[in-house]
């Protein structure tokens, strides 16, 4: 019943996503997609829970939301490297190169994040943009 109501709520809110898988038996690759969807509609989830008389304070905690966005982004990168390692006919040398390349990518991510560049972290970048916008609006008031 709640799931059907939630899907209707998302449709009414014209949310970015129309549903979120809620079964715990999701494969780990799909969990990255669940994180991405959850991150995209966390505000709608919070509103829905408030309408039901329940509240999850973490959905309003900017630090928790930032961690969620980072987790969704990094899991997407992990999923991509995992998918690149799958398939028949791959040589171990090629797979080793892909893993080494991913490790270099992680170092690049770290350097860029330390410099405030979120190019490879879409969810985190959009959240950061919103935080900056809210900060600017607050300063003008």
User: If pLDDT is split at 50, 70 and 90, which confidence band does 58 have?
Assistant: confident
Higher pLDDT, 16 or 50: 50
> What does each C-alpha distance from 81 to 84, 88, 139 come to in angstroms?
5, 15, 42
pLDDT of residue 126 exceeding 80, the answer is yes
Alpha-carbon gap, residue 103 to 109, rounded angstroms: 10
Asked if residue 58 lies in contact with residue 98, where contact means CB atoms within 8 angstroms, the answer is no
- Find where tokens 């970015």 sit: 16
pTM over 0.75: no
């Amino acid at each position: 019943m709640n799931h059907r109501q939630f899907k209707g709520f998302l449709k009414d809110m014209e949310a970015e996503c129309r549903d979120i898988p809620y079964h715990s038996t999701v494969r780990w690759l799909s969990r990255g997609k669940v994180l991405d969807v959850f991150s995209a509609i966390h505000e709608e989830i919070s509103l829905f829970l408030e309408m039901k008389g329940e509240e999850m304070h973490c959905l309003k905690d900017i630090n928790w939301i930032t961690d969620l966005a980072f987790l969704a982004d990094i899991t997407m990168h992990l999923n991509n490297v995992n998918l690149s390692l799958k398939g028949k006919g791959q040589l171990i040398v090629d797979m080793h190169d892909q893993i080494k390349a991913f490790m270099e990518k992680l170092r690049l991510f770290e350097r860029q994040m330390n410099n405030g560049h979120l190019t490879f972290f879409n969810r985190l970048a959009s959240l950061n943009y919103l935080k900056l916008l809210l900060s600017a609006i607050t300063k003008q008031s």
